[in-house]
A and B are shown apart, each in its own frame.
Chain A
């Protein structure tokens, strides 16, 4: 009863590929020619015209054949035509017999378009138009046909999406073509989808084996079908469906746990990024820099500025912002070190106050020079969207990138501190300044370099944060307390401690959030750290040996 569909694109043998290339070349040529002011003759040659005319002319009994012809032509425009047909928007001009698509059928004059070229043909009185009739039976089948049409698309993502669309919508008429489709389909994930779509229908029919297929699916429609089956009169089916549901629930739990872990690690990576620069300046050098948050803010604003300089190229701007953010923040850090901090050596509480003053000045500077309002930083296309693992779990890409970025920054810092001359000198100066100086290390220079490094990393954090949160004058303020908590919790002077502390605090926060709410979770974490510091004042991983004596 329904048209057999035999689309050409699905078997990817060489001939077909050549054919399809040829066809697209022809289409291109046609399009080109039609642009070159020969529209009439080009349209005469368009096979679509014959197909549409056929659809318009055949008697109701043979409409299916006409639709079949359109579908099996493999024409890319077929979907638009059939959609218009289903919506009563395919009409014929009385005089010329030309088939047109009605764009707007309100009022007396209808706006129409050429179905072959898509070109808008202006308005025409509705009296001059003759609607191409469609009966309800055909209309009911059209939805399935359209979905089947998408199942033949070249792009596997489109095929998968359309198969997913079909889940729960399969009726008796679609079973046979879907099975045929399954034979031809080579992409595993599309096959899965089609099998699931079929299984949902079969479970509804009381098929026991289909329950097994659905047991492996995490899609909500599969669960809905199983829930239906549990309530069915067939005890065997209900029993089996119940088991399947239980196993799905198990898997869902696992996926939810994975999702929480992911969000926790993501939040943790933000904390690590914000705190890691502080771990250098505070942890290694012992300088309390309350303006650290504002250095992060400068990095974020650098990203914004870079995007203003390179409009329309957010991705490129973001990549340029990484070195730029580092340099801007590092320069600011050097200025702060030279103008204030060097005079307060050995007076940590005074340093705290002075740098807090600097943070106020920087905030107000941004408010005055740029704006007190938040700025929008565009997320480049390759960073938006999400990585779909399965129906229940998808990871947002921007967070994934930030997580990776945090780990890279951490690894790079670790390398610098462990393997380079600068790292060696920094450790020497912090452990015994006088001794290091008498060994010929220029302590002042090391101070500047270390502070610049820590500040630069704060700038990098800002670049990353600009992709996750609002960029505004208060950006830094929101992170300063958290950053200090992470460094102190992890153990001052210990980069590994900072990494572990950041990731675990982020995860704890996310674990608490579902039942405590965001604010309460944060309060609990803060109180936890306060109590923890009482118990172990030197943090998770206290420094040992010579380094601890300083």
Chain B
């Protein structure tokens, strides 16, 4: 089975081991340590770590398409945000009549805008199962339509990057509009509970953190399963020599479409887990800057390694938390510098550094190597 194969793999075992160990340690330190202890992990930190894990899952999704398919998506933030909005709509409906205006059905912003009834696309979001399916379906559908059009006409390379960026930009403008029915500028916020658990309690936060960790583990295993399967090999062939793969008889566009849709769904899940933890979703998640930032996490961690994406996402976001706290003005300098340094001096990222350290041992099995950068983009 393609899904169980990664579990027998050394690198996946190490990754899952580290991830679950981290989850266990954080949980233990949060629950068992007294609050005044130096080792105590506060609920705030737990949520922060949960946020990092969401970003890590998003980075894994981006790495799947960029690292193994050669598609530099500058619009994955859009799938992340749509997943987030699907979750946000569910959480909005859960508020019920506890909102400021006390309307049992309409969310506050709709009452404020004098809307009389719920728009059709909000229907069903009061049911958790429906919302969770939409978390997967909505981004998946967008990716399917967009990818179908793009891959069928063989839009690749820089062009594809630019139109994915245009896509997320257009969506951002659209979601800023009040008429769209997604809360406009302010987005969706003021959530109360999820599946009956109060979102403001520490226990729920810890639960969300663990759930995110598990989602990341599953996402990682799925991606790993895909890239080590036959499909994954074809996808790498598409990345390195698209025309040749086509001439050999592979349906390049279908492979691209499948991987792209899976990646979009993973991004959607990441967004859905992100929203209850940060407590808000607004159109700024669609901003092109965010999407391109995700790419640099992957680039820093090491493209086409998956675990590198996780490392990059956690590292960059940790740095961002530190920087914005200590000297907010310097953050964009640091981020900008990171973009330049990574692309010029660290083309294979941190994972590449690690790999070159153990070069002598050479005990890696069939890990597909990172793409040689010149070929991948030609």
Residues of A within 8 A of B (CB): 288, 340, 343-344, 346-354, 356-361, 363-365, 367-368, 481, 484-485, 488, 519-520, 522-523, 526-527, 529-531, 533-535, 537
Contact = CB atoms under 8 A, between A and B. Distances in A.
Nearest to A364: B332
Given A340-B340, A357-B335, A481-B165, 9 more contacts: A346-B378, A349-B72, A352-B158, A353-B292, A353-B299, A357-B338, A357-B343, A529-B163, A530-B146
Interface in B146-181: 146, 149-150, 152-155, 157-159, 161-163, 165-167, 169-170, 173-174, 176-177
27 contacts: A346-B378, A347-B374, A348-B377, A349-B72, A349-B158, A349-B376, A350-B343, A350-B347, A352-B72, A353-B292, A353-B296, A357-B296, A359-B336, A365-B333, A367-B329, A481-B165, A481-B288, A484-B166, A488-B163, A519-B176, A520-B177, A522-B170, A526-B169, A529-B166, A530-B163, A535-B153, A537-B159
B326 interface: no
Nearest to B146: A530
A527 B170 contact: yes
B321 interface: no
Contacts of B299: 353
A346 B373 CA distance: 9
A349 B157 contact: yes
Contacts of B338: 357
Size class of the contact patch on chain B = 35 or more
B170 A360 contact: no
A353 B154 CA distance: 22
A347 B377 contact: yes
A357 B340 CA distance: 6
B339 A354 contact: yes
A485 B170 CA distance: 12
Nearest to B287: A477
Of residues A365, A523, A535, which shows the largest number of chain B Cβ atoms within 10 Å of its Cβ?
A523
Given A350-B373, A353-B295, A344 B343 contact: yes
B155 A481 contact: no
A349 B161 contact: yes
Contacts of A537: 153-155, 159
A529 B163 CA distance: 8
Contacts of A361: 332-333, 336-337, 340
A354 B176 CA distance: 29
Contacts of B169: 481, 526
Contacts of A358: 336, 339-340
A288 B158 contact: yes
A356 B296 CA distance: 10
Nearest to B170: A526
A357 B336 contact: yes
B344 interface: yes
A531 B344 CA distance: 34
A360 B329 CA distance: 12
A360 B155 contact: no
Of residues B72, B155, B343, which shows the largest number of chain A Cβ atoms within 10 Å of its Cβ?
B343
Contacts of B155: 533-534, 537
Contact of A354 (B72, B329, B343, B376): B343
B292 A523 contact: no
Interface of B: 72, 146, 149-150, 152-155, 157-159, 161-163, 165-167, 169-170, 173-174, 176-177, 288, 292, 295-296, 299, 329, 332-333, 335-340, 342-344, 347, 373-374, 376-378
A357 B339 contact: yes
B170 A530 contact: yes
Given A534-B155, A537-B153, A352 B332 contact: no
B167 A347 contact: no
A15 to B, nearest CB: 68
Contacts of B332: 360-361, 363-364
Contacts of A356: 292, 339
Contacts of B72: 349, 352
Contacts of B373: 347, 350
B342 to A, nearest CB: 8
Nearest to A539: B159
B336 A519 contact: no
A488 B343 contact: no
B279 to A, nearest CB: 27
A353 B299 CA distance: 9
Given A347-B377, A360-B339, A481-B169, A533 B333 contact: no
Contacts of B333: 360-361, 364-365
Of residues A353, A359, A481, A526, which shows the largest number of chain B Cβ atoms within 10 Å of its Cβ?
A353
B170 A523 contact: yes
Given A523-B174, A529-B166, A535-B153, A354 B340 contact: yes
A353 B158 CA distance: 11
B184 to A, nearest CB: 11
A357 B300 CA distance: 13
Nearest to B163: A530
A433 B80 CA distance: 42
A517 B347 CA distance: 44
Of residues A522, A529, A530, A535, which shows the largest number of chain B Cβ atoms within 10 Å of its Cβ?
A530
B344 A343 contact: yes
A354 B167 CA distance: 21
Nearest to B155: A537
A526 B166 contact: yes
Nearest to B162: A484
A315 B163 CA distance: 40
A473 B115 CA distance: 38
A353 B376 CA distance: 15
Contacts of A288: 158
A208 to B, nearest CB: 50
Contact of A530 (B167, B292, B295, B337): B167
Contacts of B340: 340, 354, 357-358, 361
Contacts of B343: 344, 347, 350-351, 353-354, 357
B159 A488 contact: yes
A534 B153 contact: yes
A481 B339 contact: no
A487 to B, nearest CB: 9
B295 to A, nearest CB: 6
A485 B166 contact: yes
A356 B337 CA distance: 10
Contacts of A350: 343, 347, 373, 377
A218 B233 CA distance: 71
A364 B373 CA distance: 30
Nearest to A282: B158
A408 B203 CA distance: 66
A121 to B, nearest CB: 59
B161 A360 contact: no
A519 B343 CA distance: 35
A360 B335 contact: yes
A349 B162 CA distance: 10
- 6 cross-chain pairs, A with B, having the tightest CB-CB distances, nearest first: A357-B339, A360-B336, A361-B336, A364-B332, A526-B170, A357-B336
Nearest to B165: A481
Contact of A357 (B157, B159, B162, B337): B337
Contacts of B378: 346
Of residues A356, A523, A535, which shows the largest number of chain B Cβ atoms within 10 Å of its Cβ?
A356
A354 B377 contact: no
A353 B339 contact: yes
Contacts of A347: 343, 373-374, 377
Contacts of B177: 519-520
Contacts of A484: 162, 165-166
A340 B340 CA distance: 7
B104 to A, nearest CB: 32
A522 B335 CA distance: 29
Nearest to A487: B162
A481 B336 CA distance: 18
Contacts of B296: 353, 357
Contact of A364 (B146, B162, B336): B336
A458 to B, nearest CB: 17
Nearest to B153: A534
